[in-house]
Structure 1
């Protein structure tokens, strides 16, 4: 059965894993034997399962599990190393502290290191506490993991910054959105502040602003940064030029926070060509240089008040300030989500692209935790009534929890499969983030559920009702719109969502002429 853990059918792999957990005692020896020698996909699953099974074992049976997982921390596959770290944290194995610290010091993959930090926080103990107290995070993901770990062992969380309402003078701001939604963000900024931004690159636009209150009315940005400056560099000048820009950035912080000065900063270096070793060296060089150039400020990676973000390329360096850290008030409703949920800012962009109908009745038959419907409810084109359904009970529970953050919102959720759930139509709009990727794990399941959706449009929708469907299944959705006589396709936009690039299909329901 252990051999089946690498099966390409992900739902089947989950099924096998559940069977192994139920037969934990009988399968344990086979898992331990294969943990270091099985194929890569199998090793990943084995490390994950050992963490789950280990919680059911007595100390005698648990000892070899911990020993194997400590060895797997050195596996050649980074995903297997990460799963081993998560498993050891779950088992709260204090004897593994030394192995986790050694693994963290040797780990070069940025997306593995946070799991090692979190595992140390889960384990606790004097050795973990001492190490975490001295640890200096090197990127945003590590900062977030370190804060959680310190909180777990009784450390101090970062203090929130004072809320920012004005920059004191007009500054150049860079706003980030999902790649593919730059035009929507530019339109929203133009309506709000009267100036149309320039598009800098995929997922980034720039505009000059002084007062920040208008930004909270724009729902399609994910974060904003103050631009300090960008300059050309070569191998000989990068240290000097970077330090000059960082000193300028901290001087700008002093101007913005003149009445309530900040003192703690952290350096965040980003760049595709920057290795883990190079990042560590640059942070050391620049933080030492800033001691003389900006003595009022302290480099405090774990408990900082302002982030100085450096974008480092081979021929250019740019420095930006991140001045907003407090919870974004735009999306306070989403207190619960589910795996693969769409980010609210992306959902707001999808809604803006959908041509909402004034006072329209809106349906989402794959609603998840309700994000698209909540964003539709807050669109400037008011909806009349909104309904969401999903086959997942946990998703509907999350959606109903989020709904309680509103008062008298005309929105209702019910559990049900797209092929059998009943809805009181007709609706003016159907907007949905359809299952794909890890949300389903099977192309064959998508074929059935997508066909069921289109078969039910005649029950649910008014003639000329608006359709907005988000999916990675580009070919299948294109074929459905092409082959069916009761739907029209107007256009397909692409948006970058966590590395995937699903299509946003916009059309309408009604007989083709």
Structure 2
């Protein structure tokens, strides 16, 4: 097959169709090597860069790139610079991404400056934008990126401690123990807790929130991607980043959109926003989907406009550094810490505690950080989770006994003061299967709980919990904390009589 395409190219027969077919064939490594062995110095392909048909030029450029033909770089750059057909220009850049372009870097920077200062006509915009995106990716790959060192703030700023649940009171209480000069202003926010402070490090050590974000205040609200990007840049985001970092060099960012949008529309919006932000900042902000230091999060509001936030990955966050291993069912450590904080009045010092569905150990670790226990046991039927839990506990400096076993087969020489767990969610299990699991959980737990012991568990099966409490009169519901009304999750504190 490769021979057929090679001969067709030599004879200039059906070039467009044969180049498309050849591109598909050389995806196979053996076919690729065979073709490389046939084309010698590559002159045949290089000549095709001058063909009249733009789609021929486009396909041959991509073939040269995908072959990683080092001798093609100069020809591809020359072809790119002379190309007049707009939809082809970005293809040369995509092809050059496979090659070393160090020698051409300054030429590409000059071209980028031209494009960023140019206002394209409506019919040109799509292709010019694509060229800018391809050129940006090429320069990002070639340029030596500078990591930025977070140095803190000279002046107070508004921060949002994102919780993701209704119990913002727990985080407010956690902030409340900090000195007044650190927590200058605090208030509940629809997404968590708003704090006005300059002491980021104090906030970074708190455990009951999920993420630390900085609101980006706009002069006017915007719904369109390009307008929104202009507003974000004009908000002073550049000065903000310079204030809290040692280096004043360009920053790499990614875009995250939280909105009820179809995937293709979300992707298109993100591309337009990122491209315009690069353009208006003269690439002081560089879009990077992999090696990024900041995230611009756009949360869509009810009126259709967006609330933008900035997340800094440059801020050292070590509060959950132990969490090296996770599984699909793992609870987020900030949620575990919040649940433990709610349950703290019921935690016994130097208790013997057990997590019957421990996963990677997060609930046990956070529980012991909040109130040290004497003996800690974690059980799970998933072996990989137990292995991960052992490593996580070691990294946290916690001594916990993890056992790969089914809780309902577990036996122990002494009784436990406390059971603390994140209950399994239904997933693919039927309602009757979950009902049976809760029945078994209540039955088994009364065998291993000491008189006066407590069960502390997080669940979204209120009906099943209340049913088992009715059927098992040896238990009493001490307290129920609603965590998420929308998702029906609550924290239950259940005591055993005795």
The reply to whether TM is greater than 0.5 is yes
Within the candidate set 220, 223, 226, 2:211 is matched to 223
For the residue of structure 2 that corresponds to 1:187, the secondary structure is helix
Partner of 1:363: 354
Task: Work out the CA distance in 2 between the residues paired with 1:158 and 1:473.
Answer: 52
Task: Work out the CA distance in 1 between the residues paired with 2:151 and 2:466.
Answer: 45
Within the candidate set 163, 178, 191, 1:177 is matched to 163
Partner of 2:368: 377
Count how many residue pairs are aligned between Structure 1 and Structure 2: 367
Task: Work out the CA distance in 1 between the residues paired with 2:95 and 2:172.
Answer: 46
* Consecutive unaligned residues in structure 1, runs of 5 or more: 1-92, 97-123, 135-149
The RMSD of aligned alpha carbons is 3.7
Partner of 1:192: 178
Partner of 2:58: none
Q: Which has the larger radius of gyration?
A: 2
Within the candidate set 168, 186, 194, 2:154 is matched to 168
- Superposed displacement of residue 366, structure 1: 1.2
- Superposed displacement of residue 480, structure 1: 1.0
- Superposed displacement of residue 171, structure 1: 0.3
Within the candidate set 376, 385, 398, 1:395 is matched to 385
* C-alpha contact 2:457 2:491 (8 A) present in aligned 1: yes
Within the candidate set 207, 213, 227, 2:201 is matched to 213
Counterparts of 1:313-462 in structure 2 under 5 Å? 313=301, 314=303, 316-324=305-313, 328-355=317-344, 356-379=347-370, 381-407=371-397, 409-438=398-427, 441-462=429-450
Normalized against structure 1, the TM-score is what?
A: 0.62
For the residue of structure 1 that corresponds to 2:177, the secondary structure is helix
Task: Work out the CA distance in 2 between the residues paired with 1:240 and 1:130.
Answer: 28
- Superposed displacement of residue 456, structure 1: 2.9
Task: Work out the CA distance in 1 between the residues paired with 2:188 and 2:395.
Answer: 35
Counterparts of 1:184-333 in structure 2 under 5 Å? 184-192=170-178, 194=180, 195=183, 197-201=186-190, 203-230=191-218, 233=221, 240=227, 243-257=230-244, 259-266=246-253, 268=255, 270-272=257-259, 274=261, 276-277=264-265, 280=268, 283-284=271-272, 287-288=275-276, 291-292=279-280, 296-313=284-301, 314=303, 316-324=305-313, 328-333=317-322
CA 1:334–1:164: 2 relative to 1, 3 Å: same
Task: Work out the CA distance in 1 between the residues paired with 2:331 and 2:467.
Answer: 24
* C-alpha contact 2:149 2:247 (8 A) present in aligned 1: no
CA 1:338–1:281: 2 relative to 1, 3 Å: closer
Partner of 1:507: 494
Task: Work out the CA distance in 2 between the residues paired with 1:320 and 1:209.
Answer: 17
* C-alpha contact 1:264 1:303 (8 A) present in aligned 2: no
Partner of 2:459: 471
Partner of 2:479: 491
- Superposed displacement of residue 429, structure 1: 1.8
Task: Work out the CA distance in 2 between the residues paired with 1:214 and 1:430.
Answer: 32
* C-alpha contact 1:242 1:317 (8 A) present in aligned 2: no
CA 1:346–1:132: 2 relative to 1, 3 Å: farther
* C-alpha contact 2:225 2:272 (8 A) present in aligned 1: no
Task: Work out the CA distance in 1 between the residues paired with 2:376 and 2:391.
Answer: 16
Counterparts of 1:4-19 in structure 2 under 5 Å? none
* C-alpha contact 1:228 1:245 (8 A) present in aligned 2: yes
For the residue of structure 2 that corresponds to 1:192, the secondary structure is coil
* C-alpha contact 2:149 2:246 (8 A) present in aligned 1: no
Task: Work out the CA distance in 1 between the residues paired with 2:166 and 2:400.
Answer: 29
Normalized against structure 2, the TM-score is what?
A: 0.64
Q: Deviations over 1:452-495 (max 9, x none)?
A: 22223333223322221122222111111233111111333343
Q: Deviations over 1:7-65 (max 9, x none)?
A: xxxxxxxxxxxxxxxxxxxxxxxxxxxxxxxxxxxxxxxxxxxxxxxxxxxxxxxxxxx
1:482 and 2:473 matched? no
Task: Work out the CA distance in 2 between the residues paired with 1:357 and 1:255.
Answer: 48
* Consecutive unaligned residues in structure 2, runs of 5 or more: 1-25, 30-64, 69-90, 99-136
- Superposed displacement of residue 354, structure 1: 1.6
* C-alpha contact 1:220 1:348 (8 A) present in aligned 2: yes
